[in-house]
């Protein structure tokens, strides 16, 4: 599978839901010759949305990978979800990608999830190009969206194309062609073969002045980034298109700019120039910095792995697809090479793993055509054989070990109780839930010891609904489902210093221990509980007793609080001092004292319930604004701002998740189906007193 590194493009398609990501992917496959006809999202015939749930809903739920060639480049493309409930799929894909295409709808512009995926790309330093899609739709406005990208995303968009006309065919000035500002040519696309035939013409006289103005804007930006271009501009000499492309590539790879292209993916308009942009401006593995890890036996020793097939092997597991014939581990290889029937080391689990087979990935399918013998650095493929690895784990050479940073996922915010009908179903349910947890790091399932029910948790209503449907449809389980509930957290209102005690007779021995502990809230409410030892050096406990006390406090901190047994968050617990006796102050005594201090500290600090908050972005015709705002206020929503965008008004708000169950149906009812809403988790806030009282025993 050896390929020249400079010809490889590992890219993702990322965007808000319904911006057209999957359609862009389909058209890329069609234009490259990987498919003889582009599939349609509405009819469920797309290559990457091959799950029944995706086909039924018409949205992407699971990230899918396809490989194809475009001219001299080999492209590994990951099509990602746009719905916030499945943002973990975007997170893990961006962790391993070299570049991304960010798709915006020319009508809706920059939306809530657009901001989320842009921030995720910033987090991993992923260079981007922008594609403004759906220019043939009613209300499309390329220039408005271009203006929004900079201030809303903190980006540096640079138009290298502009549209000729905007809107559907029945309007006065419909979208019909694209002007290439680099070559200064007019590109038109044949409707007869869905945009595959591109006609290149001179720009008509009536469009030339506007095109020159936009070309000057492009060049002015590039002058500040490339001295050779600047010198030619100062000398008023002709600027070769290839020099412009070179400057654009350098600036894009360093994330100084994001080249902006445009079109209508549904009709194949602009997709071929977009593919040219992927090849020309997005980085190959050689353009990216060496990946940084550390020695698993010496955490302070940093190690680098370069994209070199002669370096020791190093890869990251970023997705797992469970299968009866063997789980499929999607890996990105950063250095070295991997052969089938070989052995690798997983430093995260401290285990050696067998790699029996290697496959090229095509959506979630595999066939004999895709099996390969060797995988080299810079590529993305599937390994079959590992047993203990999970998402985010490193696989490396057994003799030259390195551990890469793992992937961090957001915490789940919503739960649902499920219960099998009988003992046989219980065992099957446990196996299926274990499989789903391997596949989805944001899905959690635990069995409640009190009720015997299994509590499943996820990122939102849609996430749990998809899990529920899979349990019934795909795995044929006979289980009861209960109403979803909010995943609350618990903290304390104020600081408290308490003394936990153990002074009791156990058999013939008198156990004694006293532990002084301080409990204090943190500013970040959702932060994990921190447990520290702040005992003065002269009063330090013997090491075995100190470790026992810290361990017991940490164990209790990882469990539930006093209100409804919800996980604890947002506080610091510090040991300040202790008292011991000559006889009877053993490890058991200090465990009891630590437990006593913990319970007393929570009571003294004043338990507080934390509820998850959601950031909402609502788009609605102005006629329904009053009803929607009124409904939000009844749901304890806080309106941050409203903004008119032509005939549409955008509302930004914060509201508690508890009040938003069924909101998508409610907003459709309020607006006769014309308003839409997207939301994403936005931390926690103190819940109302009556909510806390409802959980108090």
Give the burial class of 374: count Cβ atoms within 10 A of its Cβ; 0-12 exposed, 13-18 middle, 19 or more buried: middle
Contact (Cβ atoms closer than 8 angstroms) between residue 312 and residue 397: yes
pLDDT at 1 over 50: no
The pLDDT-based confidence of 449 (bands split at 50, 70, 90) is low
Least confident range of 208-212, 313-317, 427-431, 678-682: 678-682
pLDDT at 242 over 90: yes
**Nearest residue to 695 (alpha-carbon basis) of 608, 619, 579:** 608
| Residue 558 Cα to chain centre, angstroms | 25
Q: What is the pLDDT of residues 635-647, one digit of tens each?
A: 999 999 998 877 7
Task: Give the pLDDT score at 652.
Answer: 92
Question: In this predicted model, which residue has the larger pLDDT, 155 or 111?
Answer: 155
The pLDDT-based confidence of 297 (bands split at 50, 70, 90) is confident
Q: What is the pLDDT of residues 375-423, one digit of tens each?
A: 999 999 999 999 999 999 999 999 999 999 999 887 777 888 898 888 8
Task: Give the pLDDT score at 421.
Answer: 84
Residues contacting 658, CB < 8 A, separation 6+: 486, 611, 687, 691
- Which two three-digit tokens encode residue 414? 């919503």
Q: What is the pLDDT of residues 333-346, one digit of tens each?
A: 999 999 999 999 99
The per-residue DSSP string of 308-360 comes to: -TTSPPEEEEEEEE--TT--EEEEEEEESEEESSEEEEETTTTEEEEE-EEE-
Q: What is the pLDDT of residues 55-111, one digit of tens each?
A: 777 777 888 899 999 999 999 999 888 777 788 889 999 999 999 999 999 998 988
Q: What is the pLDDT of residues 24-54, one digit of tens each?
A: 999 999 999 887 777 676 566 666 666 777 7
pLDDT at 303 over 70: yes
The full set of domains in the chain, from first to last, is 5-287 (3.40.50.300), 295-396 (2.40.30.10), 414-487 (3.30.70.870), 490-605 (3.30.230.10), 612-695 (3.30.70.240)
Q: What is the pLDDT of residues 565-592, one digit of tens each?
A: 788 999 999 999 999 988 889 999 999 9
- What is the share, in percent, of the chain residues with pLDDT greater than 90? 62
Task: Give the pLDDT score at 39.
Answer: 65
Per the DSSP assignment, residues forming a β-bridge with 259 are 158
Task: Give the pLDDT score at 34.
Answer: 85
- Which two three-digit tokens encode residue 678? 């997207």
The pLDDT-based confidence of 283 (bands split at 50, 70, 90) is very high
Least confident range of 143-147, 157-161, 472-476: 472-476
pTM of the predicted protein model? 0.77
Phi/psi region, residue 494 (left: phi>0; alpha: psi -120 to 50; beta: rest), is beta
Enumerate the H helices of 440-514 as residue ranges.
461-473
Task: Give the pLDDT score at 697.
Answer: 47
């Amino acid at each position: 599978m050896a390929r020249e590194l400079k010809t490889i493009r590992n890219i993702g398609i990322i965007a808000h839901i319904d911006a057209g990501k999957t359609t862009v992917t389909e058209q890329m496959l069609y234009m490259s010759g990987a498919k003889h006809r582009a599939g349609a999202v509405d009819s469920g015939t797309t290559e990457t949305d091959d799950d029944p749930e995706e086909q039924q809903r018409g949205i992407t739920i699971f990230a899918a990978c396809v490989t194809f060639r475009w001219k001299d480049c080999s492209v590994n493309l990951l099509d990602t979800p746009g719905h916030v409930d499945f943002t973990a799929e975007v997170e893990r894909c961006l962790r391993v990608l070299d570049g991304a295409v960010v798709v915006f709808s020319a009508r809706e512009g920059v939306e809530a999830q657009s901001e989320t995926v842009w921030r995720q790309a910033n987090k991993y330093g992923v260079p981007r190009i922008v594609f403004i899609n759906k220019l043939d739709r009613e209300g499309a406005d390329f220039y408005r969206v271009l203006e929004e990208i900079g201030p809303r995303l903190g980006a540096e968009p640079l138009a290298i194309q502009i549209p000729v006309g905007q809107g559907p065919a029945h309007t006065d000035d419909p979208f019909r062609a694209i002007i290439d500002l680099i070559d200064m040519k007019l590109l038109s696309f044949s409707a007869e073969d869905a945009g595959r035939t591109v006609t290149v013409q001179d720009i008509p006289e009536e469009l030339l002045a506007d095109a020159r103005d936009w070309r000057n804007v492009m060049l002015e930006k590039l002058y500040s980034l490339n001295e050779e271009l600047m010198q030619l501009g100062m000398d008023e000499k002709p600027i070769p298109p290839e020099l412009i492309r070179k400057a654009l590539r350098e600036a894009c790879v360093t994330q100084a700019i994001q080249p902006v292209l445009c079109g209508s993916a549904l009709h194949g308009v602009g997709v071929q120039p977009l593919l040219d942009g992927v090849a020309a401006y997005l980085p190959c593995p050689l353009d990216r910095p060496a990946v940084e890890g550390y020695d698993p036996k010496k955490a302070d020793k940093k190690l680098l792995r370069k994209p070199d097939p002669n370096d020791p092997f190093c890869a990251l597991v970023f997705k797992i697809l469970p299968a009866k014939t063997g789980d499929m581990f999607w890996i990105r290889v950063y250095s070295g090479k991997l052969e089938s029937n070989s052995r690798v080391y997983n430093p995260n689990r401290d285990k050696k793993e067998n790699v029996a087979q290697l496959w090229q990935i095509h959506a979630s399918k595999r066939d004999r055509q895709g099996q390969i013998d060797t995988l080299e650095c810079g590529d993305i493929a599937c390994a079959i054989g590992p047993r203990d690895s999970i998402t985010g784990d490193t696989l490396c050479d057994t003799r030259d070990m390195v551990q890469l940073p793992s992937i961090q996922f957001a915490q789940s915010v919503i739960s649902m109780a499920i219960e099998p009908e009988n003992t046989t179903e219980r065992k099957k349910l446990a196996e299926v839930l274990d499989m789903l947890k391997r596949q989805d790091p944001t899905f959690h399932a635990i069995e409640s010891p009190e009720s015997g029910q299994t509590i499943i948790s996820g990122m939102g209503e849609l996430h749990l609904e998809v899990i529920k449907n899979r349990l019934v449809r795909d795995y044929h389980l006979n289980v009861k489902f209960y109403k979803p509930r909010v995943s609350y957290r618990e903290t304390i209102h104020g600081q408290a210093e308490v003394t936990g005690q153990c002074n009791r007779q156990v058999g013939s021995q008198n156990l004694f221990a006293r532990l002084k502990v301080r409990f204090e809230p943190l500013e970040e409410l959702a932060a994990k509980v921190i447990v520290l030892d702040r005992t003065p050096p002269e009063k330090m406990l013997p090491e075995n007793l100190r470790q026992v006390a810290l361990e017991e406090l940490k164990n209790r901190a990882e469990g539930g609080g006093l209100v409804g047994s919800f996980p604890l968050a947002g506080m610091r617990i510090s040991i300040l001092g202790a008292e011991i006796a000559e006889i009877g102050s053993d490890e058991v005594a200090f465990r009891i004292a630590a437990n006593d201090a913990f319970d007393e500290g929570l009571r003294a600090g004043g338990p507080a319930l934390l509820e998850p908050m959601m950031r909402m972005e609502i788009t609605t015709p102005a006629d329904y604004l009053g009803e929607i705002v009124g409904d939000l206020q009844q749901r304890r929503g806080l309106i941050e701002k409203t903004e008119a965008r032509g005939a549409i008004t955008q509302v930004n708000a914060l509201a508690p998740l508890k009040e938003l169950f069924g909101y998508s149906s409610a907003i459709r009812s309020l607006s006769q189906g014309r308003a839409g809403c997207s939301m994403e988790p936005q931390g926690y806030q103190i819940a109302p007193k009556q909510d806390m009282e409802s959980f108090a025993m």
